[in-house]
Structure 1
Amino acid sequence: MLDPLPTDADSWTVQEGVSFTVLRNPLRTRIHVTGQGEQFYVPPHWHAAHDENHVVIEGRVMVTQDGVRRVVRPEDGVCFTQRGVVHSIESFPGEELILEETAMEPDDTEQKTFFFRNLGAPGMLKSPLGIMQVLYYGDTYPKLPIGFRWLELTLVVIVGGWIAPLFGYQLPDKRLRFNPSRFPRDKKD
């Protein structure tokens, strides 16, 4: 089981050279890649219940949406990803990047901050079961090579929703309940 991340932490490191910060007014998550250390890479995935916005503040990022790759820079404005679109994000090796992420709805943006807090909890990114549990609660489904959405969704539900808890995994920040069809907003732990 993992140590919980303090719920009042506004900034945390997820890997060498990569930190996340929750910013307010408006609420958003800032990803800062220093260019020192490993490249920042978010593998191909999709969301069933929310849309996302990415804005490059400094540097450039490679965004892939449904197989189409493009470089996004500050002058490009908002990079919108609609729910259901398979997408990935990667920084350029050795380059600084400041990227901000929000969802279309304020409640969904708040849930994204809880999603990132859970992924950034100590040891979480080294735990496949822990990652799958965060994906389960965070409306995130990995793109598998065979491309069957029902299989991608089922994998996350079984591994993240059923198997991870059997092994004692619990979300470090239990405020994450992103998918409203599975987790009504008024549900309490």
Structure 2
Amino acid sequence: MVGNDIVDLLEAKASPNWQTPRFLEKLFTINEQSLILNSKNSFENIWQLWSMKEAAYKLYVQTNPCRFYNPKAFECSFINGRPRVKFQDFECILSTVKTPNYILSEARLDKASLTSKVIKLAGQNQKNRSEETKLALLQHISKTCPISKQNPVFQKNEFGIPLVNHISKQFSVSLSHHGSYGAFAVA
């Protein structure tokens, strides 16, 4: 199982909401707000913590199928420089990649390898970006099983959790898109 989230930094910077105290209070715990306000780059830190929360949430709902909105319940921290998110008794392994253009966080339960890819999106609206990200995922899975004439099938369960069926395999996947970037991860 896997969760991911990507933040287009140019798109995030264009929104003034992230600079308001109400934004911080609504989404981040007191400890997280302290991390943000005491960092050298508050903007980057906000979006790293947000992407970590989102990736962990996506993984959590795969292991505990339900839907809810409570970002402050997923608390981010750094232990010896390593990112960590905790929700009740749930913890996961996180990795974050920061570039000048985006921040990508990925969450998983164990150290098993995962495949992930970031794509530059051409779509101009939310639906096109979502479809473009999905198509890139399906093309990737098709390449992993090139001898099959069967196309992989993307599905979501009743809780909105995505998965891909291909031949006799079921792939745990996570998709994310924001602004000009899309990303997928396959466990």
TM range (shorter): under 0.3
Which has the bigger relative contact order, CA under 8 A and spacing at least 6? 2
Task: Mark the structure with the bigger radius of gyration.
Answer: 2
TM-score calculated relative to the size of structure 2? 0.27
Structure with more helix by fraction: 2
